[in-house]
Amino acid sequence: MSGKAHLRLQKAAEKYGSLVRVGPNELSTCDPDLLRRMDGARSTYKRSTWYLAMRFDPNRDNVLSQMDDDLHNSLRSKMMHGYSGRDVDALEHKVDRNILAFIDLIRRRYLSTPGNTKPFDFGRKVQFFTLDTISDISYSEAFGCLPTDSDRFQYVATIEDNLPAVMLISTMPKMNWIMESSLVKRFLPSEHDQFGFGRVLGICKDKAAERFGPDGKQQHDMLGSFVRHGLTEEEAQSETLLQILAGSETTATAIRATMLYIVTHPHVYSRLLAEILEASKTVSCPITNAEAKGLPYLQAVIKEGLRIWPPVASLMTKIAPPEGDNWKGIRIPGGTCIGYNAFGLSRNKDVWGHDADVFRPERWLEGTVEELRAMESVLDMVFGHGRFKCLGQNIAYIELNKIFFELLRHFQLHVLDPTRVWDNTCRGVFVQHNFWLIASKRE
Mean pLDDT of the chain: 91
Q: Which tens digit of pLDDT belongs to each residue from 241-265? A: 888 888 899 999 999 999 999 999 9
**Does 182 have pLDDT greater than 90?**
no
- Give me the pLDDT at residue 187, please: 44
- Residue 212 CA to residue 358 CA, distance in Å, equals 51
pLDDT tens column, 113-134: 999 999 999 999 999 999 999 9
pLDDT attached to residue 175 = 67
**51 pLDDT more than 80:** yes
Q: Could you give the CA distance from residue 310 to residue 306 in angstroms, rounded to a whole number?
A: 5
Annotated binding-site residues for heme read: 390
Q: What is the pLDDT of residues 188-234, one digit of tens each?
A: 556 667 766 778 888 888 888 989 877 788 888 999 999 999 999 99
Read off the pLDDT of each residue in 170-180 and give the average, rounded to a whole number.
67
Model confidence band, residue 359 (pLDDT cutoffs 50, 70, 90): very high
Go through the domains of the chain in sequence order and give each one's CATH number.
Answer: 5-176+245-441 (1.10.630.10)
Confidence of residue 342 (pLDDT cuts 50, 70, 90): very high
Residue 166 has pLDDT above 80, yes or no: no
* Higher per-residue pLDDT: 308 or 218: 308
Average pLDDT of 72-90? 90
pLDDT for the residue 192: 67
Q: What burial class does residue 154 get, using C-beta atoms within 10 Å of its C-beta: 0-12 exposed, 13-18 middle, 19+ buried?
A: middle
pLDDT higher than 90, residue 142: yes
User: What's the mean pLDDT in 63-88?
Assistant: 91
Query: Given this model, what pLDDT does residue 86 score?
Result: 84
Asked if pLDDT for residue 176 goes beyond 70, the answer is no
pLDDT band for position 310 (cuts 50, 70, 90): very high
Give the pLDDT mean for 294-315. Answer: 97
Cα 95 to the center of its chain, rounded Å? 16
pLDDT at 246: 83
Give binding residues as ranges. 390
The reported pLDDT for the residue numbered 111 is: 98
Mean pLDDT within 15-28: 95
